[in-house]
């Protein structure tokens, strides 16, 4: 086996957004963390002194017999109660003290780091730095496209080398990982150039318009216009609005746009309807991964949405809707091209997306009332659908909370009354396709997970949450098991914003599960 293939993976996470600490709270936590860290440093100095003392004694053992004070009954020590202190005991005491001090120092350092991580004391500053760097790269890639191509090529080659070194073959997940540092600004630059395309509202010639896109969307020569309007705005969404003028008519003619929604009944319990965020992620994984992996034991196929109905203590109803991601089937509302429609800056284009139409029809058939609270849960395209619904369907439904996993949703205009919990991985690629960072607001919480290989060393509090069944060949971090581990890590830190969002998410549907309904969507001509 090539090195690294048999190791399990662990996920740590950074937490951005949500309700922030007050100035007093921030200072109190920071001072405590610094005091603990300073204590760890001082204990470390003492530990080194004991180590040095032991080394000094070991270096001069021949002196000991001449040190009469080490031995009772000497000329300089006549006390009857003096106890002999053999030389080797001195060495042992030095070693014992050094080990004890090292242990205490490690514990204090870990406690300090736990406070820092749990309260995200440094992460907002780190996120601000990351955004500045991404903006600089974006400007560079827009003005000098050659630099973008060179950066992409070099990073991809590095990923290829890492893939062969660790697994002896090409694994695309390493390419995605190696280009993670530039994905967001690269995609944003592409969106900028796409937003400048001159595509008619109803193009007559698919081929000629496609050639226009491929030749001009990201030119090899020339300087892009750095207009203020698009430099920090919805460049990707605006670009897709232009491209969709070509894609939508072509895709509708090829696959059809007639939507059929049918209620279906599983053979096994798939979505179990627990009220916590952890329960919702597990339900999402069972609903999404079964059909994608060819596991049809449940009787559910691709393109299936699950709806849980809850009876609250006050006699009213609440709803949780679980939406799967892209499945790539041409007769599915979650086909690949529907992502382009969903992420358009044009609300009418988003409304025409088969997947959003699918959700709207499911909500109509289940009989959800305008005043009944709803939360939407979705992975990948499912998360995009949830964000689009939260932005565009607020006049129709009371959408209280959305939870997304690996979804590019940064530029959706989601109202403040809707809470957002977005879980993304640093190197999954998909979540970066919006070309922007998520808002840092009180109602919008982002958990950004980072995957590392478990090196087998003893695991501490901050070592990360283990990814289930992650040994063997490296898999894409877009798989839900990674988001599941990332959320578990963030929740276990006790972060204030994470806990508040978790409580709100659970409160929306807090009640007795009445039933779970499943609806299958199909597209035809």
Query: CA-CA distance, 173 to 163, in Å (whole number)?
Result: 8
- Which has the closest alpha carbon to 277: 405, 157, 373? 405
Pairing type for strands 317-323 and 304-311 reads antiparallel
Average pLDDT along the chain, 525 residues, taken 10 residues at a time: 60 84 72 79 84 75 51 49 60 82 82 72 73 85 84 87 85 82 83 78 63 55 40 74 80 84 94 96 91 77 96 96 93 90 91 95 97 97 97 96 96 95 92 89 93 67 78 81 93 87 96 97 93
* pLDDT given for residue 315 in this prediction: 95
Alpha helices in 13-167 (DSSP H): 23-59, 87-118, 123-143, 145-167
Using a cut of 0.85, tell me whether the model's pTM lies above it. no
- Cα–Cα dist 18/500, whole Å: 8
Reading phi first (left if > 0) and then psi (alpha if -120 to 50, else beta), residue 45 is in: alpha
Tokens 């990351």 map to which residue? 130
CA nearest 408: which of 188, 127, 155, 179?
A: 188
The DSSP string of 425-473 is ETT-SGGGTTSSPPP-BTTEEEEEEEEEE--SSPP-TTS-EEPTT--SS
At residue 461, the pLDDT reads 55
The answer to whether the CB of 375 falls within 8 A of the CB of 417 is no
Sketch the domain layout of the chain as residue ranges. Answer: 22-118
- Distance between CA atoms of 335 and 354, rounded to whole angstroms? 9
Reported as type and span, the H/E element at residue 374 is strand 373-379
Which pLDDT value is given to residue 230? 41
């Amino acid at each position: 086996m090539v090195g690294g293939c048999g190791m399990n993976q662990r996920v740590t996470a950074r937490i951005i957004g949500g309700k922030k600490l007050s100035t007093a709270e921030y200072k109190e936590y920071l001072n405590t963390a610094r005091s603990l860290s300073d204590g760890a440093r001082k204990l470390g100095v003492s530990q080194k002194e004991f180590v040095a003392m032991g080394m000094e004694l070991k270096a001069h053992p021949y002196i000991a017999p001449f040190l009469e004070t080490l031995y009772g009954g000497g000329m300089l020590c006549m006390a009857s109660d003096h106890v002999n202190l053999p030389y080797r005991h001195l060495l042992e005491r030095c070693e014992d003290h050094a080990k004890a001090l090292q242990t205490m120092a490690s514990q204090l350092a870990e406690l300090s780091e736990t406070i820092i991580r749990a309260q995200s004391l440094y992460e907002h500053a780190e996120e601000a730095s990351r955004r500045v760097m991404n903006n600089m790269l974006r400007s560079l890639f827009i003005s000098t496209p050659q630099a973008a191509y060179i950066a992409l090529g070099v990073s991809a080659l590095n990923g290829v080398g890492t893939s062969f070194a660790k697994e002896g073959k090409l694994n695309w997940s390493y390419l995605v990982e190696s280009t993670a540092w530039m994905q967001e600004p690269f995609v944003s630059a592409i969106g900028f150039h796409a937003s400048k395309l001159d595509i008619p509202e109803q193009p007559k010639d698919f081929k000629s318009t496609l050639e226009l896109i491929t030749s001009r969307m990201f030119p090899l020569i020339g300087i892009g216009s750095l207009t203020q309007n698009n430099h920090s705005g919805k460049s990707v969404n605006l670009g897709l609005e232009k491209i969709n003028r070509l894609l939508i008519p072509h895709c509708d003619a090829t696959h059809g746009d007639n939507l059929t929604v049918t209620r279906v009944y599983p053979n096994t319990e798939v979505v179990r309807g627990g009220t916590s965020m952890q329960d919702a992620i597990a339900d999402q994984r069972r609903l999404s991964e079964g059909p994608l992996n060819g596991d049809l034991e449940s009787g559910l196929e691709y393109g299936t949405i699950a709806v849980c109905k809850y009876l609250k203590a006050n006699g009213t109803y609440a709803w949780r809707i679980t939406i799967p991601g892209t499945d790539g089937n041409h007769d599915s509302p979650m086909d690949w091209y529907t992502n382009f429609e969903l992420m358009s800056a044009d609300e009418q284009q988003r409304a025409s997306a088969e997947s959003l139409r699918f959700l709207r029809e499911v909500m109509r058939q289940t009989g959800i009332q305008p005043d009944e609270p709803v939360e939407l849960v979705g992975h990948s395209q499912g998360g995009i659908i949830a964000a689009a619904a939260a932005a565009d369907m607020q006049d129709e439904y009371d959408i209280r909370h959305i939870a997304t996993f690996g979804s590019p949703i940064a530029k959706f205009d989601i109202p403040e009354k809707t809470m957002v919990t977005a879980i993304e991985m640093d190197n999954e690629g998909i979540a970066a396709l919006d070309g922007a960072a998520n808002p840092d607001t009180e109602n919008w919480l982002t958990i950004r997970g980072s995957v590392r290989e478990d090196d087998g060393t003893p695991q501490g509090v901050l070592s990360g949450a283990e990814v289930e069944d992650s040994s063997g060949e490296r898999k894409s971090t877009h798989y839900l098991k990674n988001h599941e581990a990332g959320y578990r890590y963030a929740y276990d830190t006790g972060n204030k914003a994470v806990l508040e969002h978790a409580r709100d998410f659970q409160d929306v549907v807090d009640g007795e599960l009445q039933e779970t309904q499943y609806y299958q969507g199909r597209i035809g001509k």
